């Protein structure tokens, strides 16, 4: 569908939902649109990113297909979300990644990153088991590449988040926003609104479960554990005088293995759920971004596991170059991947919390959009 058609359809459905409000207790989306009849571009971006795609409203809707109104809100909002990722991508050249060029760009970046690390590797052949990682690639190059990619990604994500908030932020005082922040952060971390109507995300008219929520938690816990492994590695090296590769019983290795297992468990769970889900309330054209991010995470986890298993073989230098290239490109690609949905969804939850507090006390703002 053309973006203009996507926007027009989203406006049509939101007007119908705002008039009906049968699903008003399912999620924050319906509180956000209650009593509204006009939806500017910023409104659509806000509501679309507030939607967690639990699909409960689709199966509760009396106007869903085959009714003439053909209401399919989860699919419509998924398409608007995809448009918002491109609209708020900063720097703006990243927009192309959300317009179908993401796979090509990421593939090229992976090849370049792996090749760069391969060129840096020392002539370490024939000395398997007697060399460390820094004999293959100097520490400064590892640190500079990883830190540079991570800082660039963080700056891009922060810039994108600011652009998004500038459009959707509510007309509230800074103190009100700060008071709302703890609840919004808690809901974002706990994935509260993947709960649907209380039975979890619906993947069919008669199926609701917490599996999608827990698969997300497994994935995030795995990434956090892997990050802890990196911190433990830095501590072991600079404070305990150990040099990588570390012993199998060391904290960096144990945490890394545990993190990798959690990551793969989360990825497998999410892929399984996507494969068995009812396709009707899903925007099929947005699935590529999901699989792209999950694929990158999987490549990093698997390459790390293979490197650990083969670190005493002659393949270690090449496996190290492959793993570091994948890690660096993964960091660099974060602002051009589905990862951005976490940033925008957290911002949308913050606005929803501010408005919820206002409804409980003061009259709500006259317009849904901050700009009127």
Task: Work out the number of other CB atoms within 10 angstroms of the CB of residue 248.
Answer: 10
The yes-or-no verdict on residue 93 having pLDDT over 80 is yes
Higher pLDDT, 112 or 294: 294
As a whole number, mean pLDDT of residues 243-269 equals 93
* Residue 364, pLDDT score: 47
Token couple for 166: 């500038």
The yes-or-no verdict on residue 363 having pLDDT over 60 is no
> Can you state the percent helix, strand and coil of the chain, rounding each to 5?
70, 0, 30
The yes-or-no verdict on residue 367 having pLDDT over 70 is no
The answer to whether the CB of 282 falls within 8 A of the CB of 78 is yes
Give the model confidence (pLDDT) of 14-71 as tens digits.
999 999 999 888 889 999 999 888 999 999 999 999 999 989 899 999 999 999 999 9
Give which of 71, 199, 118, 151 is closest to 331, Cα–Cα: 151
Mean pLDDT of the chain: 86
Give the model confidence (pLDDT) of 149-173 as tens digits.
899 999 999 999 999 999 999 999 9
Token couple for 357: 């507090």
* Residue 199, pLDDT score: 66
The answer to whether the CB of 313 falls within 8 A of the CB of 106 is no
The answer to whether the CB of 277 falls within 8 A of the CB of 241 is no
Tell the residue number behind the tokens 């760069």, with chain if given.
Answer: 116
* Residue 324, pLDDT score: 86
The answer to whether the CB of 231 falls within 8 A of the CB of 92 is no
Residue 126 bridge partners (DSSP): none
Give the model confidence (pLDDT) of 188-225 as tens digits.
998 888 876 566 676 666 566 788 889 999 999 999 99
* Residue 210, pLDDT score: 84
The answer, as to whether pTM is greater than 0.85, is yes
Q: How many CA atoms lie within 13 A of 8 on its CB side?
A: 5
């Amino acid at each position: 569908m053309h973006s203009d058609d996507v926007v027009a359809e989203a406006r049509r459905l939101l007007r119908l939902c705002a008039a009906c409000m049968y699903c008003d207790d399912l999620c924050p989306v319906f509180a956000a649109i209650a009593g509204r009849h006009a939806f500017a571009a910023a409104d659509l971006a806000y509501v679309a990113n507030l939607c967690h795609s639990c699909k409960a409203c689709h199966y509760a809707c009396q106007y869903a297909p085959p009714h003439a109104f053909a209401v399919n809100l989860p699919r419509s909002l998924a398409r608007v979300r995809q448009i918002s990722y491109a609209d708020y991508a900063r720097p703006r050249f990243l927009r192309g990644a959300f317009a179908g060029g993401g796979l090509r760009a990421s593939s090229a970046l992976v090849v370049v990153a792996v090749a760069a690390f391969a060129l840096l590797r020392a002539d370490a052949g024939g000395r398997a088991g007697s060399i460390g990682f820094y004999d293959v690639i100097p520490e400064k190059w590892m640190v500079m590449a990883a830190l540079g990619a991570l800082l660039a990604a963080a700056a891009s994500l922060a810039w994108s988040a600011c652009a998004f908030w500038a459009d959707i932020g509510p007309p509230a005082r800074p103190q009100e926003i700060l008071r709302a922040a703890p609840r919004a952060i808690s809901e974002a971390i706990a994935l509260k609104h993947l709960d649907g109507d209380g039975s979890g995300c619906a993947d069919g008219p008669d199926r609701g479960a917490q599996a999608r929520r827990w698969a997300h938690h497994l994935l995030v816990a795995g990434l956090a554990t892997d990050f802890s492994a990196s911190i433990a590695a830095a501590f072991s090296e600079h404070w305990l005088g150990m040099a990588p590769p570390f012993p199998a019983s060391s904290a960096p290795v144990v945490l890394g293995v545990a993190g990798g297992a959690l990551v793969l468990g989360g990825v497998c769970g999410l892929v399984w759920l996507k494969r068995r889900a009812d396709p009707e309330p899903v925007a099929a054209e947005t699935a590529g971004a999901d699989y792209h991010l999950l694929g990158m995470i999987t490549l990093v986890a698997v390459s790390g596991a293979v490197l650990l298993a083969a670190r005493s073989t002659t393949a270690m230098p090449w496996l190290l170059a492959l793993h570091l290239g994948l890690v660096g490109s993964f960091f660099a690609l974060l602002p051009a991947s589905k990862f951005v949905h976490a940033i925008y969804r957290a911002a949308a939850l913050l606005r929803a919390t501010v408005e919820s507090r206002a409804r409980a006390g003061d009259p709500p703002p006259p317009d849904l959009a901050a700009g009127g």
